[in-house]
Amino acid sequence: MSFSGSQENVEKVKAEFEKKISERTQQLEKALEELRKTQYQLVQQERLRALGQMASGIVHDFNNALSPILGYSELLLKDPQAREDRKTLLQFLQIMNAAARHAAGIVKRLRDFFYTREQNEPFTSVHLNPMIEEMISLTQPKWKSQALVKGAQITVRKELGDIPLIEGDDVQLREVLTNLIFNAVDAMPQGGELMLRTYANAYEVVLEVCDQGIGMDEEVKRRCWEPFFTTKGDSGSGLGLSVVYGVIQRHGGSVLIQSEKNKGTTFSISFSRSDDRERESS
C-alpha cells in the first residue's frame, strides 16, 4: 500500500472516530438536558406538594379572614340604624378593613412562596427572622388542624436572635423552612414542641429547627438527603429534605443533623453573613 493510500485510511478512520465522538457528545448533551428537565420537574412536584399541604389549611384561614367582611357588611345592609350611627359605622368599617388586609396578606404570602426566580437572577439580602414568622403563620393552619384531628397539640417556641442579613433567594429559603417545619410536625404524631432558633457568630448566621419527635437512627440520618428516601410510606414523596439540601448547597451553606431515637431532631443550617461577604469583596 502506498503512503498516500495509508494516509487516506488514517484520515478516514479519524473522520469516522470524530463523527462517533460528535454523535456521543450530542447523545450525552441530550441525556444531560433530559436529566435537568427531570430534576426541575421533581423540584416543581415537591413545591406543588408543599403548596398543596399549605393550601388546605389556608382555605380555612382565608375563610376566617373573610367572615368579618361578610358578617359586618350584611349587618350594615340589613340595619339602617347601624348605617346612620357614625361611630358604629366607623367601627364596622375598621373591622372589615383589618379583615381585608389580613386576607390580602394571606394571598401575598402564598404568591411570594410560589414565585419563580429566574435562574441567573442574583441573590438579594434576606433577613431570616421575619421570614420565620411568616412561614409559621403560613403553615400553621395545616399542621395545627392535623394535630387536633389526632388529639395532639403542637406548640411553637421561637428564639430569634439579633442576626445580620444573609445573601440568598428568599423563595428557595421559604421552601427550606416549609419543608423543615412540616418534617418536624410529621415527626411528632403525639404532639410536642416545635422550636425555631436563630443566632450569629463572627462568620455565620445559624438557623435551627428542632422537634421533640421520634428521632432518627444512624441509617436514616445517613440517607435522609437521598431523593425518594422516606420513612413516611405512601404519604411521603421522599423529596422534601433533598430539596432542602440542594437549596443549602446553592447558598454555600452547610447543615448538621443532631438526632436520637425517641428524643427528637435538630437541623442546624449555617449561612455566611452578608456583611462578611461584603468585607471579602472589598
Give the mean pLDDT of 238-242: 68
Q: Are 65 and 200 part of one and the same domain?
A: no
The boundaries of the domain holding residue 26 are: 1-114
Q: pLDDT > 70: what percent of the chain?
A: 71
Choose one of 86, 114, 142: the last residue of a domain.
Answer: 114
Q: Are 197 and 271 part of one and the same domain?
A: yes
Which has more pLDDT, 180 or 70? 180
Number of compact structural domains in the chain: 2
* Domain-located, residue 120: no
Q: Are 158 and 110 part of one and the same domain?
A: no
> Per the structure block, which three cell numbers stand in for 38?
427531570
Cell 410536625 belongs to residue: 185
Among 160, 165, 251, 149, residue whose Cα is nearest residue 197? 160
- Cβ-proximal residues to 35 (8 Å cutoff; 6+ apart), any chain: none
Please provide the distance, in angstroms rounded to a whole number, between the alpha carbons at the two ends of the chain. 68
Q: Examine the pLDDT at 217 and tell me if it is beyond 70.
A: yes
Q: Are 133 and 252 part of one and the same domain?
A: yes
Q: How many CA atoms lie within 13 A of 154 on its CB side?
A: 30
> Per the structure block, which three cell numbers stand in for 252?
454555600
Q: Are 95 and 135 part of one and the same domain?
A: no
Distance, in Å, from the CA atom of 230 to the CA atom of 117, rounded to the nearest integer, reads: 28
**CATH number for 228:** 3.30.565.10
Q: Are 149 and 213 part of one and the same domain?
A: yes
For the segment 104-147, what is each residue's pLDDT rounded down to a tens digit?
776 766 666 555 555 566 888 999 999 999 888 878 877 777 77
Distance, in Å, from the CA atom of 239 to the CA atom of 228, rounded to the nearest integer, reads: 5
Which has more pLDDT, 6 or 199? 199
For the segment 176-206, what is each residue's pLDDT rounded down to a tens digit?
898 899 889 988 989 999 999 999 998 999 9
Which has more pLDDT, 242 or 57? 242
Identify whether the C-beta of residue 243 lies closer than 8 Å to the C-beta of residue 43. yes
pTM: 0.61
* Domain-located, residue 259: yes
For the segment 19-35, what is each residue's pLDDT rounded down to a tens digit?
777 777 777 777 777 76
Q: Are 106 and 140 part of one and the same domain?
A: no
